[in-house]
Amino acid sequence: MEHNKDISQQVCECFRHKHTPRSQEAQRQLVNRINRIVGQLNGIKNMVEDNRYCGDILIQVAAAESALQSFGHIILRDHMETCVVEQIQNGNLDVIEETVDLVKKLK
């Protein structure tokens, strides 16, 4: 039974929620950005299905990557301004290492 508890705790760690929720406006803006990125990816898919020129597809791939990178930077900034600050104020300095790891993954 203890084993199942460990698994459920691990699952819960993957689906944590922010202590300070994003404003409705900030959430709306993030969702709009994601929708644009999804639109770009669908456009790339259509280009592939239409057998479009490789160079044109690569240009669109670069644009989608840039948009996703920008989205990641916005989330990282929000993370640092809210989650990291709150954790440090609560005495959890492990959040610094976590953030360094996240920055490395974001590139």
pLDDT digits (tens, 9 = 90+) for 21-39: 899 999 999 999 999 999 9
Q: For residue 74, give both structure tokens.
A: 């916005």
Rounded to two decimals, what is the model's pTM? 0.78
Inter-residue contact 64 to 40 (CB < 8 Å) = yes
Structural domains in the chain? 24-106 (1.20.58.1000)
Q: What is the DSSP code (8-state) at residue 80?
A: I
Distance between CA atoms of residues 60 and 40, nearest Å: 7
Residues 6+ positions from 63 with CB-CB distance below 8 Å? 40
What integer pLDDT is reported at residue 21 of this predicted model?
87
CB 40 within 8 A of CB 63: yes
Q: Is the pLDDT of residue 12 over 50?
A: no
pLDDT at 82: 94
- pLDDT at position 16: 81
Say if residue 4's pLDDT is above 70.
no
> What is the per-residue pLDDT across 30-87, written as a single tens digit (0 to 9) for each?
999 999 999 999 999 999 999 999 999 999 999 999 999 999 999 999 999 999 999 9
CA distance 20 to 15: 15
